[in-house]
Amino acid sequence: YWSRRVATTSAALLITGLVVLSTGFWYHLRMTQSEIAFMAAWIATLLVMERLAAIANSQALRRVALYAALAALLLIVTSFIRHVGIFLAAGFGVRMLMLAWSRALSWTRAITLTLAIGLTASAALLILIAYDRDAAQATERRGYLEYFAAGDLSILSQIHTGFRLRFEDIGRLTVPGMFKAYRPGWINPNTPIYLCMVVLICVGWWRLVRRNKDIFALTAPFYLGLYICWPFGQETRYVFPLLPLLFLCLWVSIESARRHRLSILAILVVAHLVIAFGYSFGRLRAIARDNKTLLAIEQLAPRLREEQLSSAVVTPRDYDMWLMFQFTTDREVELYRRFEDVPGKARWVLSETLLVIPADFVPRLTSGPVILLERRDEKETGP
């Protein structure tokens, strides 16, 4: 419905298909994360804001106030799911200022609506951020704001890294077959492919802003700006909520193709569908393996959980096994890639049966692909 404002009905359906049939969508859908819920709340807020912008100059003040209140409420919900949702207020504010500048709306009403929505949602979000900070300090952990600085990177290095990651995210989400393409750095075969797509999207974005003053498009620079300063990868999850806009911008950018535009989108839909099907089929094997691992951990974990014994997990590749073990035992456990890195205080080690067991550990229990090892006592001899 949102893309129908700019594209034809057929194109809007194809854009929807590109989003929901892409590998990125199905990857994030199966994860216990906020992306899908955030995207739904984001689009709902966006639609209400677009409607409010359309009637902002109406003399029916009660109707305008009702839409403003609904927009503020949805913005609070969106920013509570992911704090970055608050930037929709910035995109809405730019739209209001553009309307006021073109004399389609009074400056007083433009500023009033912007502040009424933005300040209300910001106040609610600040309360949540303060709560998050207090909870983090109580558990001796860091909150979101403390993670804003990326280790020992300088500000320029942090921005450069963030820009490269967001550039790669856009390419991996929009180019069929590239979602799992991991090539760190700029110098790699993927960069020219991503560059072509990013250039087309930027051209479409510029046209969309100039012609339609779309709130989603106006919000995108604020949104991406934050995540450029936040140089973390996270499997495209930060750019994923922008996917509908990216494909709409692609549609707008290829308008010179005219009669072939729908065919181009249809080919992209089929390509994304084939790749997503192949990825999902591969995930079935991974899920079956994970189920075996979880069942094995559930059989081995009770002793460690009940006796509160010091333990660790050693696995060079199965990161999920470590997460499953912590969830099952309801305790924090250290992860190591090699047995040599396990400290002496860790008496019990959960690992994979395929790994070579060092001499200072003794196998105690085995279940499926998982083995429970105990550190050998100094007096203990033999296998």
169 burial via Cβ count (<10 Å: 0-12, 13-18, 19+): buried
3-state SS assignment for residue 372: strand
Residue range 27-62, pLDDT digits in tens: 888 887 889 999 999 999 999 999 999 999 888 889
Q: What is the mean pLDDT of residues 177-197?
A: 88
Instruction: Give the neighbor-by-neighbor strand order of the sheet with 361-367.
Output: 334-336, 311-314, 348-352, 370-375, 361-367
Q: Is the pLDDT of residue 308 over 70?
A: no
Q: Is the pLDDT of residue 287 over 90?
A: no
- φ and ψ of 359, to 5 deg: -65, -25
Identify the H or E element spanning 335: strand 334-336
Instruction: Give the 3-state secondary structure of 268-309.
Output: HHHHHHHHHHHHHHHHHHHHHHHHHHHHHHHHHHHHHHHHCC
Q: Quick count: other Cβ atoms within 10 Å of Cβ 52?
A: 25
Residue range 104-121, pLDDT digits in tens: 999 999 999 999 999 999
How far apart CA 49 and CA 47 sit, in angstroms, is 5
Residue range 352-378, pLDDT digits in tens: 777 777 787 888 777 777 777 877 765
Contact 349, 309 (CB under 8 A): no
